[in-house]
Structure 1
Amino acid sequence: MARKKRINQQATTTSDPEELPPCPGPKLHAFPYQNSPIEWLERLDEELEGLPGGGTDGYVFKVKIESQLYALKVFKFFNPEDTRFYWGPILKGSFPSQTVAFHTDPFYAECRAYGRIKEAQDKGLLKRQIVIPCLGYIFLQDKYRAILEKSGIDLEEECLDDDVEPLSPEPSSRLRRPIRAIVKELASQDSGVHPKSLNKILRDIKKLNKLEIYNRDIRIDNFKDGKLVDFGSSWTEPHCFMHSADKEQPKETRLGDLVMFDDMIELEGFKTDVRATPSWSHCKKLRSQAKKAGYEYFSL
Structure 2
Amino acid sequence: MPRPRRAGKSVNVSPSNGEELLPPCNGPKLHPFKGKSLNIDFQSLLNESSSSDSSSEGEGQGFVFKALIDSKPFAIKLFKFFNIEEARALFEDFQNDEMPDDVFVGNVDPFFAECRAYGRIDEFYKKHLGSKDPGLIAAPCYGYIYITKEQEASLRSQFGSLEWNRANSDADKQIRALVKQFIPNEPIDTKVRSIRRMVKDLKTLHSIGVYPRDICARNYRGGLLVDFGMALTEPSCVLNVLPEWIARKERKRDLGAFDEMIQELGIKTLVRAARTVDRQILTRTEYTQYGLRDDFVELDASGRRAKTARV
1:126-205 equivalences under 5 Å are: 127-150=134-157, 151-157=159-165, 168-169=167-168, 173-196=169-192, 197-205=194-202
1:46-61 equivalences under 5 Å are: 46=48, 51-52=54-55, 56-61=60-65
Pair 1:34–1:230, CA change in 2 (3 A)? farther
- Contact between 1:63 and 1:72, CA under 8 Å: does it hold in 2? yes
- Contact between 2:42 and 2:155, CA under 8 Å: does it hold in 1? no
Aligned length: 269
Residue type of the alignment partner of 1:41: Q
Pair 1:226–1:245, CA change in 2 (3 A)? closer
- The secondary structure found in structure 2 opposite 1:111 is helix
Aligned equivalent of 2:291 = none
Match of 1:228 among 225, 228, 231: 225
1:1-300 equivalences under 5 Å are: 17-33=19-35, 35-46=37-48, 51-52=54-55, 56-89=60-93, 91-93=95-97, 95-124=99-128, 127-150=134-157, 151-157=159-165, 168-169=167-168, 173-196=169-192, 197-279=194-276, 282=277, 284-285=279-280, 293=297, 296=305
Pair 1:264–1:53, CA change in 2 (3 A)? farther
- Contact between 2:49 and 2:62, CA under 8 Å: does it hold in 1? no
- Contact between 2:189 and 2:195, CA under 8 Å: does it hold in 1? yes
Gaps of 5+ in 2: 1-17, 288-293, 299-303
CA–CA distance in 2 between the matches of 1:107 and 1:34?
23
- Contact between 1:255 and 1:286, CA under 8 Å: does it hold in 2? no
TM-score using structure 1 length: 0.80
> Pairwise CA RMSD of aligned residues?
2.8
- The secondary structure found in structure 1 opposite 2:146 is strand
- Contact between 2:62 and 2:164, CA under 8 Å: does it hold in 1? no
- Contact between 1:220 and 1:264, CA under 8 Å: does it hold in 2? yes
- Contact between 2:21 and 2:31, CA under 8 Å: does it hold in 1? yes
CA–CA distance in 2 between the matches of 1:238 and 1:271?
37
Residue type of the alignment partner of 2:240: H
Alpha-carbon offset, residue 141 of structure 1: 1.1
- Contact between 1:259 and 1:287, CA under 8 Å: does it hold in 2? no
- The secondary structure found in structure 2 opposite 1:73 is strand
String of CA shifts for 1:245-264, please: whole Å, max 9, x gaps.
52223201111110101111
Pair 1:259–1:114, CA change in 2 (3 A)? same
CA–CA distance in 1 between the matches of 2:57 and 2:279?
24
String of CA shifts for 1:211-265, please: whole Å, max 9, x gaps.
0000001111110001101111111011111111522232011111101011112
TM-score using structure 2 length: 0.78
CA–CA distance in 2 between the matches of 1:184 and 1:90?
37
